[in-house]
Amino acid sequence: MRVALRGLAMVGLLAGGGAGTARALEVKISAQALERTLRAQLFNGPEGRYYMRGDASSPCYVYAEQPKVSFQNDRVVVHVHTRARLGTALKGACLGVTLTTDADVSFVPEAEGESVGFRDARIERLSESRELNFLLVPFLSRKLPSQMKVDAATTMGKLLSQSVASTGYVLTLGSLKLHSMTVDHDALVVDVDAALGVE
């Protein structure tokens, strides 16, 4: 994430020292940052897969992989590749059909306390298999947005805790309040008020 300080608020804090009052910040979150969050929190199984049915050793399974995050108009779009072996397991084999498809879902970003959340899931593309879609729809509309959530306060706190090595100052986050969130071309722009302390 890139953090841009409006009105050189950081310079004022550094010059004054001590605790600062709440200042306006603009946090820009790239599609790649959201993608890394999704991979770390959800697609962290063997070979970067998330299994909706079965596991890596199951003859019959359904999994999603290769998540790609992009922005389109005012929405965050997630594209996943899915593979499925649907049928009955018999003697270590799956008697049934093998399906490979791509699926897309989009969300509207929304402030959830100190976190960047997502609402209004809209499935943009599904498979032609009703059985596969029975598993894909709840995964796309509920599981994905809950795992993409970014705790802005925790993330900024961690970034600031490393500031002493690069600036010589100990920066701490006293409070954080998220205001608006908008998709602006290649970034999710979050306007926040933050109180920073400098030692």
Query: Residue 84 belongs to what domain range?
Result: 32-110+121-148
- Based on the domain organization, do 72 and 133 belong to the same domain? yes
The distance from CA 10 to its chain's CA centroid, rounded to whole angstroms, is 27
pLDDT digits over 128-173, tens only? Answer: 899 999 999 999 999 999 888 888 778 777 777 777 777 777 877 7
| Short-list 42, 156, 178, CA closest to 109 | 178
Residue identified by tokens 């996943």 is 80
Whether 115 maps to a domain, the answer reads no
Domains held by the chain: number:
2
Same domain, 169 and 104: no
CA distance 176 to 178: 7
Q: Are residues 137 and 166 in the same domain?
A: no
Instruction: Report helix, strand or coil for 118.
Output: strand
Q: Please tell me whether residues 190 and 101 are part of one structural domain.
A: no
Phi, psi of 197 (to 5 degrees): -115, 145
pLDDT at site 75: 94
- Identify the pLDDT of residue 193: 81
190 with 105, same domain: the answer is: no
pLDDT digits (tens, 9 = 90+) for 36-93: 989 998 999 889 999 999 999 999 999 999 999 999 999 999 999 999 999 998 988 9
Instruction: Provide the token pair at 191.
Output: 């306007």
Return the pLDDT at 22. Answer: 55
Are 136 and 87 contained in the same domain? yes
Verify that 46 and 133 share a domain, yes or no. yes
Q: Which residue type sits at 176?
A: L
User: What pLDDT score was predicted for residue 82?
Assistant: 96
